[in-house]
Amino acid sequence: MTPPGTPGTPAPGSPASGSPASGNAARVNKDTRFCEPPLNFAPGSPAPGSRQTGPAFPCGAEDMAKDGEQYAKMASRIRAKMVAMSHAAGTPHLGSGLSCVDILVAAYWGVLRIDPTRPSDPLRDRFILSKGHAISALYATLAYRGYFDPGLLDVFNKDGTNLPEQPSPGCLPGVEVATGSLGHGLGLGAGMALAGRIQKRDYRVYVLMSDGECNEGSVWESAMFAAARQLGNLATIVDFNGWQATDRSREVLAIEPLAEKFRAFGWESVEVDGHDPRKLAEVLRAVPEGPGKPLAVIAHTVKGKGVSFMEDDNNWHYRVPSEAEVAKAWAELGVA
């Protein structure tokens, strides 16, 4: 197996050598190993839970075990593509992205009321990736959810393209805001949630933050604002993988007990296994559209999740995988 993005060879889904390409977003062939849609709907069709299709989750309780398998398959595809993207682009922050994949899969396939063919629908649920350094996870999620051709992932972090290492607003369909300077996403989400109330639009807002991001004072200013305004249509998910750039989160600042801190600031707060998409979806679907306490979900995760030699190793905050490591990761993820 030749890993995707290997220097000197075409990456899966990229144009073959000498083939024409137009502009910075040439439409390319898809790698079908990553594109099989879960939950029996095709990319580009109305999303489960969109205004056209009703409830946020399409299946009854009797189907949950089957859906759990589908969640896991999509999470593996996303993780494998992220490893390849990191290698091809020479871009780090892989461990931080891998830890939040299951959260993204739960949100985009089990919770959000969205239609990928209408990314600017004023009634869409909003999702903000506040931990912008994990953008490769969101790009891959949006691609396989049907927002754009997955072949575009092969130009990640290339000069002159629409997939920068830190997201900018409007760079691709489904990217709501610019993030990367940590501590801003929750304030943006609170503003969107309040705007929805003022405009009488019944969408919900979800903000994915890192645990280290909770060191920022702006997070707690936003938390107080959201509680004061009773923004019950707002939820934040904290990807609590236990690491920051240089040390364990609890050793940098006294971040724990984080759930109790949010409760003290007037929020509802729950702790969940951040690698259980079914449980995550169950919790996040309960976010109402009207006033009430906002919700903080403390999702306990493992940095580098899914690739054994990356798990809980903070070196993968900075390292880029070699060709051999891509092949090994793909084998573990079952896509080799």
* Residue-level pLDDT at 315: 82
Per-residue confidence (pLDDT) for residue 67, from 0 to 100: 65
Please tell me the predicted confidence (pLDDT) of residue 13: 34
Quote the CA–CA distance of 158 and 12 in Å, as a whole number.
16
Residues 206, 173: Cα–Cα separation, whole Å: 17
**Would you state the pLDDT for residue 69?**
85
pLDDT category at 247 given cuts 50, 70, 90 is: low
Give the C-alpha separation, 45 to 40, whole Å.
11
CA distances from 314 to 62, 116, 252 (A): 39, 34, 14
CA 330/CA 323 separation, integer angstroms: 11
Percentage of the chain lying above the pLDDT 90 cut: 57
User: For residue 113, what pLDDT is reported?
Assistant: 95
Mean pLDDT of 86-112: 91
**Length in residues, the chain:** 336
Average pLDDT (9-18) is 34
Q: Which residues pair with 152 in a beta bridge?
A: none
% the chain with pLDDT above 70: 79
In tens, the pLDDT along 103-144 reads: 999 999 999 999 999 999 999 999 999 998 899 999 999 999
CATH class as words, domain 70-333: alpha beta
Q: Report CA torsion sign: 175, 76, 304, 156.
A: negative
Cα–Cα separations (whole angstroms), residue 62 to 65, 69, 188: 7, 13, 38
Give residue-wise pLDDT tens across range 175-211. Answer: 998 887 788 999 999 999 999 999 999 999 999 999 9
Encoded tokens for 116: 């990928």
**Cβ atoms of 306 and 100 closer than 8 Å:** no
Q: What is the pLDDT of residues 303-333, one digit of tens each?
A: 989 999 998 888 877 788 899 999 999 999 9
* Structure token digits, residue 93: 């922050």
pTM for this entry: 0.80
pLDDT of residue 336: 62
Q: Which value, in Å, is the radius of gyration of the alpha carbons in the chain?
A: 19
User: What value does the mean pLDDT take over residues 253-281?
Assistant: 93
Q: What is the pLDDT of residues 41-78, one digit of tens each?
A: 233 333 333 333 333 333 332 343 346 788 999 999 99
Instruction: Give the C-alpha separation, 291 to 132, whole Å.
Output: 28
pLDDT, residue 44, reads 35
* The pLDDT of residue 25 is above 50: no
Residue entry with tokens 């890192």: 210
DSSP string computed for 72-135: HHHHHHHHHHHHHHHHHHT---HHHHHTTHHHHHHHHHHT----TT-TT-TTSPEEEESSGGGH
CA distance 77 to 58: 22
Average pLDDT, the chain: 80
Q: For residues 209 and 131, is the Cβ–Cβ distance under 8 A?
A: yes
Residue carrying the six token digits 């990807």: 239
Average pLDDT of the segment spanning 137-166 = 90
